[in-house]
Chains A and B, each alone.
Chain A
Amino acid sequence: MAIFVDQNTKVIVQGLTGGQGKYHGLRNKAYGTQVVAGVTPGKGGSDVEGIPVYNSVAEAVSATGATASFVTVPPKAASAAILEAAAAGITFIVCITEGIPAQDEARTYNTLVRDYPKVRLLGPNCPGIISPGKCNIGITAGEIAELPSAKGPNVGIVSRSGTLTYQALYELKQRGIGVSTCVGIGGDPVPGTSFIDCLREFQADPETHAIIMIGEIGGSAEEEAAEFIKANVTKPMSAYIAGVTAPAGKKMGHAGAIVSGGKGTAQGKMDALRDAGVEVGNNPTEAGSLMAEIVAGLR
């Protein structure tokens, strides 16, 4: 088991013929992911190293039976690409595109909620998702993810930040701890998938025994997650929140990472998580060590 994606997930890549799309699409395929098609309007009939390219998502879906899409197109085209995938029957959309205007994100998200309630969007501006050994959609380097062990215990990872997602994977690999699924939800103001969505899935997933959560300053997603954890998550958790020292009023790289009006501080988020029974580390390595202790206790 894993959450959202596994070895049976068939994936199309929207933007496969672009530089980034080709690089990551082929890497995902090389990892073992079932990358069954690419979509680029006007380039239907061609192929990218043996992967057939179609003019539309609808054509690609009817030819391959794909249910997931990896959207790697420029910001201007991303919203239309996401909605095209949803309309064509794709149910899991991973969008790594960075720099989509917030107004577009808000409109796209609410359109999905209204018109395609069964569709899950991951991202935008996220590293993607990896269920080690089974499926890798996005830009995560598969080598840094430890395979889940049949006996367990295995850890689920959910993170708002790209490089810290890799850092978390690496911390676990160093310690030989298996990963069930690692989800990067992205640092934008309107993420399609929230911490809570992932926590709910991890709680229900029999292969996941503990959970690491990586948050950052800005917004209230971590506080909302803490409320959810208190009421619904029984699996042990460790966490790390980036941005303790971030000055107020400055966007720290991500559009979503900003402390404003005294809200969204790292301290407030850490307190909320501790209050929910989560072990909170002061840096990613400490969160990894705390998880190692949790896992040792489960063995």
Chain B
Amino acid sequence: MDLFEYQGKQYFARYDIPVSKGDVAVTVDQAVAAADAAGYPVVVKAQVQVGGRGKAGGIKLANNADEVRTHAGNILGMDIKGHVVKRVWVENASDIAEEYYASFTLDRAAKKHLLMLSAEGGVEIEEVAAKNPDAILMLHIDPVDGLNTAGAKKAAIDAKIPEKAQQGVADILVKLYRCFVEGDCDLAEINPLILKPTGEVHALDAKVSLDSNADFRHPEWEEFKATEELDSREQLAREKGLQYIGLDGTVGIIANGAGLAMSTLDVVNQVGGSAANFLDIGGGANADLMASALDVINSDKNVKSIFINIFGGITRGEEVAKGIVEAMGRVDLRAPIVIRLDGTNAEEGREILKNAGIPESKLTSKPTMLEAAEAAVALAK
């Protein structure tokens, strides 16, 4: 789950990482109130989960309430690369002497935590990595050892952070690492991490991505979930407990297992079609789950055909077939179904589907993934 900047800053604040005084606003009046409280000058920042906000005019400096009113009015509702701005973050503007970069992630190849630290912040780190890779310190941290102040100080020195900022950067690194580990982040990034003319080091931006598997030990994440930007299909799928990702195509996909669902998307694409979604109903594939999955697919107006791709491993073919028949009785489908049922007891399952009295215009069965994909794509055209 990706957090908005303001949420990331609020999350940082829990771990004592210094951030600017500010507040979030959904209306112009709220923005002015937030600016008055933060103290002028302020920066009004669009809250969208996409890069390039500044260039798009989504970040503006305001010296007084009138300017806040103008900028907040312009930014709220603005479309930035397909993301409509619903909130602005208004914070006290910081004087900047220098800009650095710091982040923690999990390096899957090394199976260790990775600190990336650079004295060249404020621009996309990918840009720095491409132009001047030596300017980024990449330090692996063993999760069993963790990171202490001495280690963080050494990292700051190795990253060529100027001496006057080394201690401040090290202090923030230790706090950010704690946030990353105890806060169960996939990513905790500060860019830019700034040095003020007065000598303090401070997080001017916050990019935080949370590991949803750790949800059970973070009741404080509830408020973040409320603002997550899901389309209506994704919202419905989440309520039904399904793994769903909305896409732009016309063939609705239901498969059991994430790998098979991905593979199904690929095969549909290979035979000239396009998938409307990724949907993994998991190992169970019983009638309730199938009905829920069909409900979600049915809510997508772009769907012209539905491809159900089930491989019976533990799940037996006849159970899947019964589930589909029952689900079809409950959901009034707009699009025809093509099913490929394979694996354990697939024969029995196909027999059940054949004898269920469902007209072929609504349900056809194909023996292989490829043939089923071809049939589903033909129906979608």
* Residue A116 CB within 8 A of the other chain: no
In the complex, per-residue mask of A136-172: 1 if CB is within 8 Å of any chain B CB, else 0: 0001110110000000000000011111111100100
Residues of A contacting B214 in the complex (Cβ-Cβ under 8 angstroms): 101-104
B276 vs chain A, min Cβ distance (A) = 12
Residues of A contacting B108 in the complex (Cβ-Cβ under 8 angstroms): 189-190, 219-221, 256
Residues of B within 8 A of A (CB): 106, 108-109, 111-113, 126, 142-144, 181, 184, 186, 211, 213-214, 216-217, 243, 245, 247, 255-263, 265-270, 275, 278, 280, 283, 311-314, 342-344, 368-370
Some 6 contacts from A to B, beta carbons below 8 A apart, are A141-B344, A163-B311, A240-B263, A243-B263, A245-B269, A285-B368
A74 vs chain B, min Cβ distance (A) = 9
Q: Which 7 A-B pairs have the closest CB atoms?
A: A161-B259, A253-B258, A163-B257, A101-B214, A164-B259, A163-B260, A166-B313
Supposing A164-B259, A166-B343 touch, asked if A109 and B270 sit within 8 A by C-beta, the answer is no
Residues of A contacting B186 in the complex (Cβ-Cβ under 8 angstroms): 102
Q: Is the CB–CB distance between A111 and B144 below 8 Å?
A: yes
Residues of B contacting A216 in the complex (Cβ-Cβ under 8 angstroms): 259, 262
> Which A residue's beta carbon lies closest to that of B261?
A253
B333 vs chain A, min Cβ distance (A) = 24
Q: Which of A86-137 contact B (CB under 8 A)?
A: 99-104, 106-107, 109-111, 114, 127
Q: Is the CB–CB distance between B313 and A187 below 8 Å?
A: no
* Residue A82 CB within 8 A of the other chain: no
A107 vs chain B, min Cβ distance (A) = 4
* Residue A244 CB within 8 A of the other chain: yes
* Residue A5 CB within 8 A of the other chain: no
Q: Is the CB–CB distance between B369 and A252 below 8 Å?
A: no
> Which A residue's beta carbon lies closest to that of B265?
A245
* Residue A284 CB within 8 A of the other chain: yes
Pick the most buried of B263, B278, B342: most chain A CB atoms within 10 A of its CB. B263
Cross-interface CB contact of B266 among A114, A163, A244, A254, cutoff 8 Å: A244
Q: Is the CB–CB distance between B265 and A246 below 8 Å?
A: yes
* Residue A53 CB within 8 A of the other chain: no
> Which B residue's beta carbon lies closest to that of A24?
B314
Alpha-carbon separation in the docked complex, A159 to B255 (Å): 18
Supposing A257-B262, A282-B270 touch, asked if A102 and B257 sit within 8 A by C-beta, the answer is no
Q: Which of A41-90 contact B (CB under 8 A)?
A: 75-76
Supposing A163-B259, A253-B261 touch, asked if A101 and B111 sit within 8 A by C-beta, the answer is no
Residues of B contacting A247 in the complex (Cβ-Cβ under 8 angstroms): 245, 247
